[in-house]
Structure 1
């Protein structure tokens, strides 16, 4: 789990210049347009990409240097009168380099009051803490905010601190603060069904207890908004059995990755990853190996 304490302990106290606010890419026709917006990026130790794997092997397989910089991609779907966000970034209180969504929205010509729905894959800080503005009011005042019941129930349970290591307590405290700020605007939904017409929440638990991804059809092309079900452009696909430190339930996350990459390869779906450079691509299979190919 990404916390300031873990990052500082690993020697990642100094951060490179953050990614500029921007539109990362856009997909689909004007009638159903997906625009991927940057919420910036942050650095983390390479060791967080896999538990119990030698540092040299992680470096070789990831193709990355120490520290590793991960991008943050927020997906926006505009269809008819709807403007739907999938997650909403880190806000101002997470790690240096993150929290650039408001600037990217402005660059894309999207006003906060135009957003009609926010659908959460999960409630980690870099996905959920951007929900409130600097006055602790909902950033998107006209939106409906939808979250998996299992996910919100975990983070807001009275005993959540006893179910987390001490260095992750800040995640729960932040989730509870944001949930309180959203109040009754935050609507509980169940995985395994449509949350909005044509947008189904697929259960992809493991990274967090109630993590979901979103499946939709974009002009005849199947699209999956992954959230953090697959987080690294090489390791998640080539080594789905490796266990990132950020996974809440490592065994469940491994099972999810194995099942998901097989499904996405078979369906030839377009995938959008929150932490995948370039955001959009496809899963390709060669023999028993998988890879992420950008588009």
Structure 2
């Protein structure tokens, strides 16, 4: 019998895949006794129109040139945050799994490189339920992959994706998102708990409503004393136009107006407070800071080591 994908990645296959290089590189941050690792689930290949369509093309063009971006194809990284503290091993989102995009679904290999097996994970916290954050719940056989984990998600995000009417109202382009989310969430219905904006969901981790990308999107502030890191998910979805022009609508957001308002407010706070950030689709390993510029903001990446 051929080995399953789980067996392959948990064993020697992970070491072989490491040969692919920076896809699997991870950054390590510490806050007191907490350790945060940023591990890769690979990358996506998206049509530029998915983000750029609603934006003013004449003003967009110099931004694309500045960041050496194609207007036709974007290849954002997928950076999953791993938190280890005391006896808890926590994932913020679980990546795409095997069924969404050919260059994603690499989380198991990255966890293996960080010394973590799927059965070691005690908690999984979702920013939102889009495929590249949720579909990694299941293995190739549609069985739950993280067998010892409990799950947490914002209550409004859960309600939206579990509503059977969502598939008919979300729009044709995202209908498969709704079907896939509801099927996967139903499989963990007995082991999931809910939280709301502002709640401390575990010691040192507080939920922050960052709505717009999805109806119930959450970011998370991880804090030890005066040190803090904000895990963004997709509320700030790229390192270029989201910083340069946060007020612009993005085609990737389900509620474009609400998402733009969230970006503007959050970037101002992050720049003012000089809070370190981890972004799921930010460049490099996703870690860095926000700086205010004369016309907007900029992402200052760091190596995270």
- The Cα shift of 1:166 comes to 1.5
Contact conserved, 1:77 with 1:84, CA < 8 A, in 2? yes
1:47 alignment counterpart: 49
Q: Which residue, 261, 267, 275 being the options, matches 1:269? A: 275
Describe the shift of the 1:220–1:275 C-alpha distance in structure 2 as closer, same or farther (beyond 3 A): same
Contact conserved, 1:87 with 1:119, CA < 8 A, in 2? yes
Instruction: State the TM-score, normalizing by the size of structure 1.
Output: 0.89
1:141 alignment counterpart: 147
- The Cα shift of 1:274 comes to 0.1
Deviations 1:143-186 (A, max 9, x none): 11000110011011021123211121100110011012213112
Deviations 1:80-112 (A, max 9, x none): 111111001000110110110011111111011
Which residues of 2 match residues 188-203 of structure 1 at below 5 A? Answer: 188-203=194-209
- The Cα shift of 1:219 comes to 6.6
- The Cα shift of 1:45 comes to 1.7
- The Cα shift of 1:56 comes to 6.3
Please list every run of 5 or more consecutive structure 1 residues that lacks an aligned counterpart in the other structure.
1-17
Greater CA deviation, 256-265 or 39-48? 39-48
Q: Which residue, 169, 176, 179 being the options, matches 2:175? A: 169
1:290 alignment counterpart: 297
Describe the shift of the 1:85–1:151 C-alpha distance in structure 2 as closer, same or farther (beyond 3 A): same
Q: Which residue, 78, 83, 102 being the options, matches 2:84? A: 78
2:27 alignment counterpart: 25
2:4 alignment counterpart: none
1:186 alignment counterpart: 192
Higher helix share: 2
- The Cα shift of 1:124 comes to 0.1
- The Cα shift of 1:29 comes to 5.9
Provide the rounded CA distance (Å) in 2 between the counterparts of 1:30 and 1:267: 19
Q: Which residue, 67, 92, 106 being the options, matches 1:100? A: 106
Aligned residues: 278
Contact conserved, 1:225 with 1:273, CA < 8 A, in 2? yes
Aligned partner of residue 110 in structure 1, secondary structure: coil
- The Cα shift of 1:55 comes to 5.0
Provide the rounded CA distance (Å) in 2 between the counterparts of 1:286 and 1:57: 17
- The Cα shift of 1:20 comes to 5.8
Aligned partner of residue 188 in structure 2, secondary structure: helix
Provide the rounded CA distance (Å) in 1 between the counterparts of 2:54 and 2:217: 24
2:3 alignment counterpart: none
Contact conserved, 2:31 with 2:223, CA < 8 A, in 1? no
CA RMSD of aligned residues (A): 1.8
Q: Which residue, 57, 60, 63 being the options, matches 1:58? A: 60
Provide the rounded CA distance (Å) in 2 between the counterparts of 1:233 and 1:281: 10
2:245 alignment counterpart: 239
